[in-house]
Amino acid sequence: MGTTAGPPRAAAVLTLIVLVLGVLAAGFLGDFSADPVMVPPDSSPQETDAPAPTATGTAPSLADGERIVVDGGTLAAVTLLLLMLALALLVRFLLRFRGRHGPDGDPPERSGPLHVGTVPLTTEALPEWARTSRAALAGGGSTSDTVIRCWLELERLCADAGVGRTSTQTTSEFASSVAVTLDLPSLPLTTLNRLYQRARFGQADGDRPAGPLGPGDRDAAAASLDQLECSLAAGARHPEART
């Protein structure tokens, strides 16, 4: 396990260096002024007799213009400012690197399952739920009541394992969430959810009218439970496939 003091300490040191260089640069620059500093040309008279130009002589050379003089202090200040900019960029890079990686520069390790109760849920509770619900459908009685009890028991088991339906989720959204979280086929869960909504709330499902569930609905619920039971059994035989 690495320590978390590396990147923040390095960032603090680099920030201190940037501040020191800023102070040094301000010392080299001296007083700021809006007036340009120019060195006038040498105006001392020269008492040399120039020879008279001849017809074949060359034209007199022009006087040198004003030259810009850059002293060593200004050059050092510019260099320090560039170093400050480079260090600032380096600090920003280190901070962003730390945000995407672990404290030692390595990618953060994946944590364990979000809800540790999902393992016994998929290996013990849900297989037993599927078998019990399947037997209840085969035993006769009201299909609507059996489907309602089947779905409510599913929600209770998931809530006990920490993956229950939230207050903002509909039952349809919960069915999709359970399929993703527990790595289960979505179609049988969606079918059970639609049958539950029809049985409890009297909602029509496509071309099927609202009302009590019939023999065809019993068969659809039984087939969905069979598919879920097969998927749970396969996951129990190969638990590494769910990780």
CATH number for the domain harbouring residue 146: 1.20.120
Is 138 within the bounds of a domain? Answer: yes
Q: Say yes or no: 74 and 123 in one domain.
A: no
Q: Say yes or no: 122 and 94 in one domain.
A: no
Q: Say yes or no: 175 and 235 in one domain.
A: yes
Contact 78, 30 (CB under 8 A): no
pLDDT < 50 regions, the chain: 1-7, 32, 34, 45, 62, 99-114, 243
Q: Say yes or no: 93 and 130 in one domain.
A: no
Domain boundary among 86, 107, 128: 107
Q: How many domains does the chain have?
A: 2
Q: Say yes or no: 13 and 98 in one domain.
A: yes
Q: Say yes or no: 98 and 206 in one domain.
A: no
Helix (H) or strand (E) run with residue 11 in it: helix 6-29
What is the per-residue pLDDT across 186-221, written as a single tens digit (0 to 9) for each?
A: 999 999 999 999 999 876 555 555 668 999 999 999
Closest listed residue to residue 11, CA positions, set 105, 106, 89, 108: 89
Q: Say yes or no: 166 and 124 in one domain.
A: yes
Q: Say yes or no: 122 and 238 in one domain.
A: yes
Q: Say yes or no: 140 and 178 in one domain.
A: yes
Beta-strand ranges (E) seen in the chain are none
Contact 126, 133 (CB under 8 A): no
Is 52 within the bounds of a domain? Answer: no
Contact 31, 93 (CB under 8 A): no
What pLDDT shows up at residue 125?
93
Owner of token pair 């309602």: 148
Q: Say yes or no: 124 and 146 in one domain.
A: yes
- 13's tokens: 């040191």
pTM of the model: 0.50
Is 57 within the bounds of a domain? Answer: no
Is 49 within the bounds of a domain? Answer: no
Q: Say yes or no: 234 and 209 in one domain.
A: yes
Is 221 within the bounds of a domain? Answer: yes
Q: Say yes or no: 154 and 85 in one domain.
A: no
- Full domain range(s) for residue 81: 1-32+70-107
What pLDDT shows up at residue 10?
58
Is 152 within the bounds of a domain? Answer: yes
